[in-house]
Structure 1
Amino acid sequence: MKFASVIVSVSSKEVNRIFEYKIPDPLIGIIKIGHRVLVPFGPRNIQGYVVNIKDSVDFDASKIRPINRALDIEPVLTRELIMLAKHLADYYIDPYISVIETILPAALKSQSEKVLTLHSDASKEAADFFKASHSGGKVLTKKLDAEALKGIKPFIDSGDIIEETELKQHTNKKYARALKPTFQPGRDFGRAVKQLELLDYLENHEYIELSRLHEDGYSSHTINELVKKGYAEKIDVVIERDPYENRVFFEDKPKILNQDQDYAFGRIQDAMDRSDPKTFLLHGITGSGKTEVYLQAIKAVLDKGQEAIMLVPEIALTPQMVNRFKSRFGDEVAVLHSGLSHGEKYDEWRKIKEGRARVSVGARSSIFAPFENVGIIIVDEEHETTYKQTDRPMYHAVEVAKYRSSFHKCPLILGTATPSLETYARSDKSVYERLELNMRAASNTLPDTRIVDMAKEHRTGNTSVISSALKEAIQDRIDRGEQTVLLLNRRGYANFQICQSCGDVPNCPNCDISLTYHKSNHTLLCHYCGYEEEVKRECAACGSDDVTFRGTGTEKIEEILRDMFQVDVVRMDNDTTRRKGMHEKLLNRFEKEEVPILLGTQMIAKGLDYPKVTLVGVLNADTMLNLPDFRANEKTFQLLTQVAGRAGRHELSGEVIFQTYNSEHYAITLSESNDYQAFYEKEMEFRRFARYSPFYFHVLFTVSSEDVRKCLEAAAHVHEKLTAAVSDTAIIVGPSPSPIERINNQHRFQILLKYKREPDLSAVLHELDEFYYERYKKEGLSLRIDVDPQYIM
C-alpha cells in the first residue's frame, strides 16, 4: 500500500498543512511526487499537489481516503521546486500552497464547476427528467433555476443523478487540424495530378496543418479526396502559441572578448567546471559588454548538456534581450514574462518542462523555470527593486536564485553597473567574488555628463521644464540625424489640479493622495487605487472657475517636445505600454530611427542599446531623492547612472544632461562623475549611522483597516509582541502612520524591525500572521509582513 502527502489548493491558514491520501492500486507507480491530483476534501473534490510518497502512515490507514485521479501524465513540479516552495513559505511567512501556485504558470491553476451526471442504473423516471433538463452539453448545477433544482433534488438524494466537481484549467493546449500520410501502397490517381503532388508533399512530413496546406494552394476538395482514398487521415495536433513566430532572428556570432571580459569569463567557467555554487558580482560600467559574457557562459553550459536561467528586471528590456539570445541560441530559448498571454506563457513553460528549450529568458517569475539540470543562473541589473514581488508571496528573485544555485551546484552571476549596497558589501567581504569590467566593450569612452541647476535657470528667466542647454543639445541631435532619450519618472499630464482662489486640491476619496491629471482622456486619476473622475472646471470647494494644473508628467512633456521641435516623440510609461505588445512596438519605432526622441519613465533607463542615441537628458533628477525611504539616495544614483549609460554606446560619442534643484547632492554629483566607489563609501557611512541594511536586516509590518482605532490597537499589539520576543540588540521603529496614511479606504500604520540575529524570529512572525489572519476574517483588519523590504513606504 502506498500513501501520498498532498497539499490542497485552498489558500487558507486552517489547511496550510499536509494531508495524507491513499494511492489506489491502479495508480501506484503512476502518481509521482509533483503530480497534480483530484482528492476528496470534506464534501467536495479539489485539486492538490503530491509533495511526498510513503509506504506507511502514523495512524489508522483504513480511515485514509483515496486519491480520485491524477490530473497530468507527468508531474508539473520537480522535487527541487517542491523543496523551494516550502523554504519560501517558511522564510516569507506565506501559505505553502500560495507559493506552489506562484511557481506554476497561471494556466495550471484550476477552476471548478458542479456537473450533474446520470447514474448508469438510474430509473427511467430519472433518465427522462435528466434528458428534459438539458439541451446538449453539460448540466451545470449553477445554471439550474429554482424550479429545476427542486425537481432534480429527489433524484440526487436517491443517487439516480450524481453531482460531481469538474476541474478545468485556465488555459489548455492549443490544437489544430492536420493531414497525416497513411503510407499505403499503390498510387492510382489517374488524372488527379494535384492529389499525387499533395501525397508527395505529405510523405516528407509526419503531418502538415490544414491551414498551411491551404496557404500552399491545396483545396479542401483535393485534401478530402486524398482522405477518401485512404492515402491520408485528418488528425488533431498540438500547436504552440509562439509570441515570436513573425520575428526573423539573424544569427549572431560570439564576439572576441577584451581583457576584462576574458578574465571574468575564465573565472565563471572555472566555477562551472568545478560545479561550484559561487556567487559572482559582475560589476561593469554601462556598455562594458556584460551581456556578451553572459552569452558565452551560457554557451559553455549548453555544451555540457545543461540549462541556463537568465533574468531581466523589466518587460521593456525583454525584446532586446530576446533578440540577442534568440539570435545566438535559436529555438533553445524560452521566454517567460508577464507581457505574454496565459496561453503563450503556458506553451513557453511546456517547452522548458518537456526539454525542448534549455535557456529561459524573462522577468522575476522566470526564476521558477522547471529545469532539472541548471548549469548557470544570471540576474541582470541585480540592483532593481522589481526583483522583489510586492504582493504575497513577497519573495525576492535573487534569494530564490541563490537557493537554486546551491541546489544545482552551479554559479550565480549578479550583473550590474550599480550594485545594491548589500551586494557590493558582500563582495567587499569576499562572500561574493567581484569581477570588474572597467572599459566599454567597443573601446569608446563614457559620455560627457553635466549638471544644470534649474534654480539658476529660472532666475535667468527660463521657466520652461526644458533648460536652455538641453533644448540646444536636442536640436543639435535632430539636425545631425541622431537620437535623444529623455527621462521623467512621473507619468500623467500634471501632478495635480488646484483652485487659485481657495487653494483646494482634488484628492482621491479612497487614498490620502492628490489626483493626477491625464489630458488624453481628460480625467483625474489616482495612481494607487485606480479611482477616476472627470475634470471639472469649477472648484468643488468654493465654486470658482479659477482652476489650473501644476507639475509636469510625461504626457505634458510629450506635448511640449512636439511643439518645441516639430518632431514626433515616442512616449513609454504605464499609460502607453498597458496593451499587450506595446513595449516592443514602441521600441521598434525608435530602433528603426523613425523618431528622434524617446521619452519615458524609469522603464527606459536600463538595458536599451541603440547606436544613434548620443544624448540623454534627465528632466528632474530629484524625483526619487524626495521619497521618505532610506534607499532614496541609492535609487537616485542607480537610476541616473543607468540612464546616462544609454548614450554613446557605439561609434558616436555621447552627452548626458541632469536637470536638478539639488545640484550639490552627492547622489547627483557622483552620478555625474560615474564614481560608484565614492558613492558606496559615502552611503555606507549614512547606513551605519542610521543602522540600516546592509548593517541590519529588516522586517516591515503594515497594519491596515477601515477603522483607524482598530488599526492603532493592532499596531500597539504587534509592537508589544515584538518587544517581548526579540533581543535587546534589535531596534523597533514605530508604530507610526505610513507615509501614505490611507490607500483604498484602508488606514495604514507601520512598524520597522531592524535586527542582526534573531533565531526565534520566524516563529513569532508566523504566530502574528496566523493571529491576524483570523482577525482579518472576522473584522477586516490585516497585517502585512514584508521580510527584507525594498521600500519602507
Structure 2
Amino acid sequence: HSALSAGEKYDEWRKIQRKEVQVVVGARSAIFAPFSNIGIIIIDEEHENSYKQEDRTRYHARDVAIERASRHGSPVVLGSATPALETYARAAKGNYHLLTLSKRMNNAVMPEVELVDMREELHEGNRSMFSRVLKEKIEERLARREQVVLFLNRRGYSTFVMCRDCGHVMECPHCDIALTYHKNQNRLKCHYCSHEEPMPTECPECESKTIRYFGTGTQKVEEVLQQLIPEAEVIRMDVDTTRRKGAHEKLLQQFGDKKADILLGTQMIAKGLDFGNVTLVGVLAADALLNLPDFRASEKTFQLITQVSGRAGRHEKPGEVIIQTYTPEHYSVELASQYEYEQFFQEEMKLRKAFNYPPYYFLTLFTVSHPNELKVQEVTQKIVQFMRQKLSDQSMVLGPTPSALTRINNRYRYQCMVKYKKEPEQRKLVERILHYYEDEMKQENGLQIVVDFQPYQLM
C-alpha cells in the first residue's frame, strides 16, 4: 500500500513472486499482486470509491479482480453492508450470487437512529452546529465514561471566507474554487492546486473590515466542542492531522486506549473502526454530500450514514446514532436511518432508469483541458460532433459543458459525456480522437484529453 517505501514495496512484491506467501492483504494496487495461482479474491467494502484509480492508468480494482479471477477460475467475494447499486443490481438479476448476512457480529443490535431537523433547531433559537439533543447525549456519555464518534465531511476551519459588505468571496487565483481557511496557520489554502495566501484583514474589493468565515470544517467543530464541553478530550482526524507517516495509527491507538472521549473526523473514520466503548455516533451535516452535482450523491449519502452508524454499539453496550440534517424528508437520509437498503435500492433505481444512468446505461466521460478557454470549447465541440456521427442512435452524447470546477491550476476544463448500452466500436473511436490530437497533447502545457470509461468523479 502507499504508506510503504519503494524498498518495502519491492520486498513484499518479491516475496509474493517467489511463492513465499499464501495471502496478500492490501489496498487498491494489491489486485496486481504477482500470484500465479489465485484461489479467491475478497474485496471488502466494495462500494468504496477509492477502489477507482483516478489518475494516469485509470482502473477499478473490482473490474480487475473479476477479470483476474475469471482467468484463474476462482471466485470473487464483494463484501459490503451498502453495496454499490451496479453490484446489487447484478446480484438481483442473478449475474452475481447474492449472500446475505442478516445478523450483526456478536449478535449485537443495530443502534437506534434519531434524525434531528436542524431547521427546527434554528427556529427555536439554537444557532450552534450542535443540536440540543446531541449536546445532551454527549454529556451523558462523558458522565458514563463512554466514548463518542463525531463525523463531519469537511476538513479545515471553514469552507469559505466572504466579505459581509460587498459579498466578495476569496477565490484561488489559479482555480475557480473558493479558498479554504485553515486556522492554525491563519492561512487560506486551495485544496486543488496547493496555492496558499495569508488571511486578509480587510476585503480586497471594498476594503471593509467585515470579512467572515462561513461553513464548518473539522477544525472549527473542534473549537466549538471545546467551548461547549470543555472537559471533553477530543482527537481530530482529517487529512491535515494524519499527513505524517504513522499518525493515523497513533491517533486511533490513543482513542482505543481511552485517552480521549471524542473522536472527530472526516470520511476516514466512517468505516472499519471497532471500539467497544463507543456508544454514540453523531453525524453533524448529513446532507453535505447531497447537494453535489453528481448522480451518485444520494447513494453516497446513504452509504456514508449507514457506515458511520455501524461504528456505535458494536459490543456489549448498546449504541445510539444522532443524525443532524436540514432535509430529514430526503429518502436517502430517511431510509439510511432505518437501515432500509432494499427500499433505498428500489427508490434510487427508479431515478436511475428515468434519467438513463448506470446501472441501466454505461457512461464515458471526456474531460478536455488547456490554458486557452476557446481552444477547450472548440476541441470538446469537435469530439461531441464526431461521437454523434459515429455512434448508434441508441446512445446519447451530452455536452460540451464547463466542468463543475471550470478552472484548475490555470487550465480551463470542459467535458462531454456518452451514455450508451452497447457500443463495441467506442474504444476504437476514442483511439482515433487521441491519435488526431497527439501532437497538440505532446506540447509543453499543451492540450489534455482524459477519457474515463467508468467515471466516479464527475467534477
TM-score after normalising by structure 2? 0.98
Equivalent position of 1:381 in the other structure: 45
1:534 corresponds to which residue? 198
Residue identity matched to 1:791: Q
CA contact (8 A) 2:234 2:264 kept: yes
Describe the SS at the equivalent of 1:472.
helix
Deviations 1:744-777 (CA, angstroms, capped at 9, x unpaired): 1111111010000011111001111222332122
Q: Could you tell me whether the CA contact under 8 Å between 1:703 and 1:750 is conserved in 2?
A: yes
The residue number in structure 2 matching 1:418 is 82
What is the one-letter code of the residue matched to 1:636?
A: T
Equivalent position of 1:736 in the other structure: 401
- Are 1:769 and 1:785, in contact at CA under 8 Å, matched by a contact in 2? no
Show the counterpart of 1:348. 12
| Letter aligned with residue 788 of structure 1 | Q
Aligned position for 1:11: none
Q: Which of 413, 418, 423 is matched with 1:758 structurally?
A: 423
The residue identity in structure 2 corresponding to 1:666 is: Y
The one of 320, 323, 329 equivalent to 1:664 is: 329
Q: Give the match's secondary structure for 2:43.
A: strand
Confirm whether residue 562 of structure 1 aligns to residue 233 of structure 2.
no
User: Which residue identity lines up with residue 681 of structure 1 in the other structure?
Assistant: Q
Once residues 379 and 342 of structure 1 are traced to their aligned partners in structure 2, the CA distance between those partners, rounded to angstroms, is 24
Aligned to 2:452: 786
Q: Letter of the aligned partner of 1:770 in structure 2?
A: H
Distance 1:357 1:579 in 2: 30
Partner Cα separation in structure 2 for residue 494 and residue 447 of structure 1: 31
Are 1:443 and 2:107 counterparts?
A: yes
C-alpha deviations, 1:341-361, integer Å up to 9, x for none?
Answer: 222222222222222222111
Partners of 1:687 and 1:709 in 2: CA distance:
33
Mapped contact 1:493–1:556 kept (Cα < 8 A): yes
Q: Which amino acid is the alignment partner of residue 463 of structure 1?
A: R
Classify the secondary structure of the residue corresponding to 1:438: coil
Give the corresponding residue for 2:300. Answer: 635
Displacement of 1:707 in angstroms is 0.4
Residue 538 of structure 1: how far off its partner (Å): 1.4
With normalisation by structure 1, the TM-score equals 0.57
Is the partner of 1:506 in helix, strand or coil?
coil
Question: 2:238 aligned with 1:573, yes or no?
Answer: yes
Equivalent pairs, count: 457
Which 4+ residue blocks in structure 1 deviate beyond 6 angstroms?
Answer: none
Match of 1:697 in 2: 362
Q: Give the secondary structure class of the aligned counterpart of 1:633.
A: helix
Deviation at 1:338, TM superposition (A): 0.8
Tell me the SS of whatever aligns to 2:35: coil
Whole-Å separation in 1 of the counterparts to 2:30 and 2:325:
37
Please give the residue correspondences for 1:263-662 in structure 2 after superposition, counting only pairs within 5 Å.
337-566=1-230, 567-662=232-327
Contact 1:772–1:782 (CA<8 Å) still a contact in 2? Answer: no
State the Cα deviation string for residues 301-360 of structure 1 (Å, max 9, x = none).
Answer: xxxxxxxxxxxxxxxxxxxxxxxxxxxxxxxxxxxx112222222222222222222211
Structure 1 SS opposite 2:53: coil
Aligned-pair CA distance for 1:515 = 0.3
Match of 2:391 in 1: 726
Deviating more after overlay: 438-447 vs 558-567: 558-567
- Please tell me the residue identity of whatever aligns with 1:790: Y
Q: Which amino acid aligns with 1:780?
A: G
Provide, for residues 125-165 of structure 1, a one-character-per-residue CA deviation record: whole Å limited to 9, x for no partner. xxxxxxxxxxxxxxxxxxxxxxxxxxxxxxxxxxxxxxxxx
**Higher mean C-alpha deviation, range 666-675 or range 477-486:** 477-486
Distance 1:772 1:447 in 2: 55
Rg (Cα) greater in structure: 1
Query: Deviation of residue 563 (structure 1)?
Result: 2.5
Secondary structure of residue in 2 paired with 1:437: coil
Distance 1:572 1:770 in 2: 45
SS in 2 for 1:474: helix
Distance 1:637 1:440 in 2: 19
SS in 1 for 2:235: strand
Matched with 1:305 is none
How many angstroms apart in 1 are the aligned matches of 2:187 and 2:18?
Answer: 48
Residue 362 of structure 2 contacts residue 420 of structure 2 at CA under 8 Å; is this kept in 1? yes
C-alpha separation between the residues in 2 aligned to 1:376 and 1:383? 19
Once superposed, what is the RMSD of the aligned Cα atoms?
1.0
Query: Identity rate of aligned residues, in percent?
Result: 52
Amino acid at match of 2:199: V
> Are 2:371 and 2:410, in contact at CA under 8 Å, matched by a contact in 1?
yes
Distance 1:769 1:610 in 2: 50
The one-character-per-residue Cα deviations of 1:688-736 (angstroms, maximum 9, x if unpaired) are 0000000000100011111011011001110011012110000111111
Within a 5 Å distance, the mapping from 1:108-123 to structure 2 comes to: none
**8 Å contact from structure 1 (residues 447, 654) kept in 2:** yes
Give, in whole Å, the separation in 1 of the partners of 2:363 and 2:393: 15
Cα shift at 1:477 = 0.9
Answer whether contact 2:179 2:188 (CA < 8 A) is retained.
yes
Does the alignment pair 1:767 with 2:436?
A: no
What stretches of structure 1 of length at least 5 have no aligned partner? Answer: 1-336
- Tell me the alpha carbon deviations over residues 154-202 of structure 1, each in whole angstroms, 9 at most, x when there is no partner: xxxxxxxxxxxxxxxxxxxxxxxxxxxxxxxxxxxxxxxxxxxxxxxxx
CA distance in 2, matches of 1:687, 1:675: 18
* SS across alignment from 2:59: coil
SS in 1 for 2:21: coil
Structure 2: stretches of 5+ with no match in the other structure: none
- Aligned-partner SS, 1:352: helix
> Does the 8 A contact of 2:384 with 2:398 survive in 1?
no
Cα distance in 2 between the residues matched to 1:556 and 1:348: 41
1:776 aligned partner: 441
Distance in 1 of aligned mates of 2:185 and 2:332: 37
Once the two structures are TM-superposed, the CA of residue 441 in structure 1 deviates from its matched residue by 2.2
Name the SS of the counterpart of 2:289 in structure 1.
helix
Shift of 1:561: 1.4
**Secondary structure, in 3 states, of the residue corresponding to 1:360?**
coil
C-alpha displacement of 1:593: 1.4
- AA aligned to 1:392 is R
Separation in structure 2 between the aligned mates of residue 398 and residue 769 of structure 1, nearest angstrom:
26
